A and B are shown apart, each in its own frame.
Chain A
Amino acid sequence: VPCVSSGLPKPTNITFLSINMKNILQWNPPEGLHGAEITYTVQYFIYGQKKWLNKSECRNIHRTYCDLSDETSDYEHQYYAKVKAIWGMNCSKWAETGRFYPFLETQIGPPEVALTTDEKSISIVLTAPEKWKKNPEESSISMQQIYSNLKYNVSIYNTKSNRTWSQCVTNHTLVLSWLEPDTVYCVLVESLVPGPARLTRPSEKQCVSTLKDQTSELKVK
């Protein structure tokens, strides 16, 4: 039985949270209805096409988010989504997102970072993050394949001197040379693509120590 569009307030702050093309629609409950048994229904729309489409898994749901990754997986299209609140027989008007363009708006997750050390150098190997995929069995698509101009901002912190510096690199391997032996360095990497400013998600900080200086060890003997 369809609900009656009444004065029920709309959900608020409806936005897409998008990371590596995993596109989650999220919203806040309507204001002033704390404790009420509210459910929500979601629809989405492909810009340039004709109809709003249902997302069956997000009909009459209690949670305040809905995974639309599959429905918005063609990142060259643009999308709208909307959600309405339902309470008993009453429902709110639709609350709608702005035009969502995954290609320009998805956050690019951090690369995988592998570090190996030497006396005075650290080798860094970066692996680009993967695009969201529906099934684990599907073949992976690297975000590098989508963004050929993907770059990385590598930040390096010398724990002994408290000095931090960073380098912007395009390839996947980087050797930090002229480092101090027997010193702990911490590395943190962000993925960057040209275009509109996007939130970035830095990698976990990784710390490694350069090896002791073998030559000074020999002299001591």
Chain B
Amino acid sequence: GQEFRFGPCRVEGVVLQELWEAFWDMKDVVQAQDNVTSVRLLRKEILQNVSEAESCYFIHSLLKFYLNTIFKNYHAKAVKFRILRSFSTLANNFAVIMSKLRPRQENEMFSISENARRRFLLFQGAFKQLDREAALTKAFGEMDILLTWMQKFYQ
């Protein structure tokens, strides 16, 4: 079967097509709630030219943030907008992916992990500049951008 290969990090047992279907089922509802269209959190320059070595650190930070901040605080909205099934599919799969990521911590990887951290901080910084609820809604609606980036590492 297919697996994610974020540089040295391998993640099996996740069917990316299911994540796509889950997001697409709620895309219009979720993105229609995002009124701050002048801001994009996952900007092109943040996602461009991520090296293989960097990718494991970067996706680990992103998924950790999505699980601990975005999914955690968006649950009530998911109930309200009746998208709980899609919400759960994505949350559970993100949790599985994150649990299987083992970014290396050796010293020689420090500069690479720092690059990845800088990218993540650009994303997180843009998130923090927005009103809390608006930021949650926007980040949730940008999962198509995140999944598109993840698709490149799925083989």
A residues near B (Cβ < 8 Å) are: 45, 47-50, 76-78, 80, 98-99, 101, 103-104, 149, 194-197
Question: Cβ of B144 and Cβ of A47 under 8 Å apart?
Answer: no
Question: Cβ of A77 and Cβ of B28 under 8 Å apart?
Answer: no
Partner of A104, one of B43, B144, B154: B144
Partner of B20, one of A76, A101, A196: A196
Looking across the interface, which residue of chain B has its beta carbon closest to that of A74?
Answer: B44
Question: Cβ of A103 and Cβ of B148 under 8 Å apart?
Answer: yes
Cα(A80)–Cα(B38), bound, Å: 11
Question: Cβ of A197 and Cβ of B31 under 8 Å apart?
Answer: no
Flag B75-113 by CB within 8 Å of A: 1 or 0 each.
Answer: 000000000000000000000000000000000000000
Query: How near does chain B come to A193, taking the closest CB pair, in angstroms?
Result: 9
A-B pair number, CB within 8 angstroms: 47
Chain B residues near A76 (CB, 8 Å)? 44
- Decide: A48 near B16, CB < 8 A? Known: A76-B44, A195-B148, A196-B21: no
Query: How near does chain B come to A9, taking the closest CB pair, in angstroms?
Result: 20
Residue B151 at the chain A interface, CB threshold 8 Å: yes
Question: Cβ of B24 and Cβ of A48 under 8 Å apart?
Answer: no
Question: Cβ of A48 and Cβ of B40 under 8 Å apart?
Answer: yes
- Label chain A's interface by main secondary structure: loop
Question: Cβ of A48 and Cβ of B31 under 8 Å apart?
Answer: no
Question: Cβ of A45 and Cβ of B37 under 8 Å apart?
Answer: yes
Residue B129 at the chain A interface, CB threshold 8 Å: no
Query: How near does chain A come to B53, taking the closest CB pair, in angstroms?
Result: 20
Question: Cβ of A197 and Cβ of B24 under 8 Å apart?
Answer: yes
Partner of A98, one of B28, B43, B147: B28
Question: Cβ of B38 and Cβ of A50 under 8 Å apart?
Answer: yes
Question: Cβ of B16 and Cβ of A98 under 8 Å apart?
Answer: no
Residue B49 at the chain A interface, CB threshold 8 Å: no
Cα(A77)–Cα(B144), bound, Å: 12
A-B contact pairs, 20 of them (CB 8 A): A45-B37, A48-B39, A49-B38, A50-B38, A80-B37, A99-B27, A99-B31, A101-B145, A101-B148, A149-B151, A194-B16, A194-B17, A194-B151, A195-B148, A196-B20, A196-B21, A196-B23, A196-B24, A197-B20, A197-B24
Query: How near does chain A come to B71, taking the closest CB pair, in angstroms?
Result: 20
Query: How near does chain B come to A10, taking the closest CB pair, in angstroms?
Result: 16
Chain A residues near B38 (CB, 8 Å)? 48-50
Cα(A98)–Cα(B55), bound, Å: 30
Query: How near does chain B come to A142, taking the closest CB pair, in angstroms?
Result: 18
Cα(A161)–Cα(B21), bound, Å: 37
Query: How near does chain B come to A182, taking the closest CB pair, in angstroms?
Result: 41
Looking across the interface, which residue of chain B has its beta carbon closest to that of A101?
Answer: B144
Chain A residues near B27 (CB, 8 Å)? 98-99
Query: How near does chain A come to B51, taking the closest CB pair, in angstroms?
Result: 17
Question: Cβ of A104 and Cβ of B148 under 8 Å apart?
Answer: yes
Query: How near does chain A come to B47, taking the closest CB pair, in angstroms?
Result: 8
Chain A residues near B20 (CB, 8 Å)? 194-197
Question: Cβ of A197 and Cβ of B21 under 8 Å apart?
Answer: yes
Cα(A101)–Cα(B144), bound, Å: 9
Q: Using a CB-CB cutoff of 8 Å, which residues 5-61 of chain B contact chain A? A: 16-17, 20-21, 23-24, 27-28, 31-32, 34, 37-40, 43-44
